[in-house]
Amino acid sequence: MAIGFLILILACINYVNLCTSRSDFYAREIGIRKTFGSTRLWIIRHFLNESMLTILIAYLLALATLLLSLGWFNHTSGKNLQIPWNSWQFWSVSLAFLLLVNLLAGIYPALYLSKLKPLRAISGIHKTNRLGTSSREILVVFQFTISIALIIGSLIIYKQILHAKNRPVGYSPKGLLTLYMNTPDYKGKFLTLRDELKNSGAVYEITASNYPVTTTKGWNSDFTWKNQKVKEESPSFNVVRITPEYCKTLGLKLLQVVIFQET
């Protein structure tokens, strides 16, 4: 959401710079309007309406793009996002958002252009003052800073994703297949399935556990040990039931382990 807000700020800065840089183009229009009696407030409202129309067109194009790409995004991400067309909250927030963007993007060009002198504007001798030039330079520098920050942030996120994908996870995930056996007498069926698959030569090893290796679930159990003090608290651990082939199948590398024989 923060990245989207920064991109919105960049778009507003672009609009402000484009409007103020074209002040010579608007000068004659403003001069004629003021000559025929238009007040500064009327001109401000005129430019705010013009910016609102531009923002509304951009909003409709964004909705159309979202509508066309939402199905692909849901299919790729596995989510089920929908546009709440019938929700009045959605349209209320959208209207407030449009008014806020119009205020951010349109108020400065409206104030800047409405103060042009009519005689100088009509005569074509209007020149951009130092305040307008310096404000555009400040906005360009700010825009450039945000762009560099977004690029650096994107590179950092990309490196973090690569690190998460390539970092060692403690076992070998390649070639692993998980099957759920939520059936009665699953132990006897597992032994039959294990023997059949190993005899077929299609698998290297097969094991069983009550939780997949990628989950952190498990039931806690209090443990005791020899020579434990009477008042010493027994720690709790997450316990996962496994078969003796578990470590070999997953390629687990443990510092010390005792493999119990199956009974």
Question: What residue segments make up the domains of the chain, in order of their start?
Answer: 2-166, 171-263
Task: Answer yes or no: is pLDDT of 165 > 90.
Answer: no
**Residue 37 C-beta-side C-alpha neighbours within 13 Å:** 0
Task: Answer yes or no: is pLDDT of 230 > 70.
Answer: no
* Range scoring the smallest mean pLDDT among 15-29, 97-111, 163-177: 15-29
- pLDDT digits 0-9 by tens, 133-144: 567 777 778 878
Residues 6 or more apart in contact with residue 105 via CB below 8 angstroms: 11, 12, 15, 16, 51, 55
First to last CA, the chain: 55
Q: Would you call 116 exposed, middle or buried from its count of C-beta atoms within 10 A (0-12, 13-18, 19+)? A: buried
Alpha carbon dihedral 212, 170, 234, 227, in 10-degree steps, equals 130
Task: Answer yes or no: is pLDDT of 182 > 70.
Answer: yes
**Residue 2 C-beta-side C-alpha neighbours within 13 Å:** 5
Tokens matching residue 229? 């003090």
Task: Answer yes or no: is pLDDT of 219 > 70.
Answer: no
- pLDDT digits 0-9 by tens, 35-79: 777 788 888 888 888 889 988 998 999 899 988 888 888 888 778
Predicted confidence at residue 125, as pLDDT, reads 54
Tokens matching residue 116? 């042009």
Tokens matching residue 256? 């010390």
Task: Answer yes or no: is pLDDT of 263 > 70.
Answer: no
Tokens matching residue 3? 């990245």
DSSP annotation of 220 reads: E
CB 10, CB 133: distance < 8 Å: no
Predicted confidence at residue 133, as pLDDT, reads 59
Quickly state the pLDDT bin for 202 (edges 50, 70, 90): confident
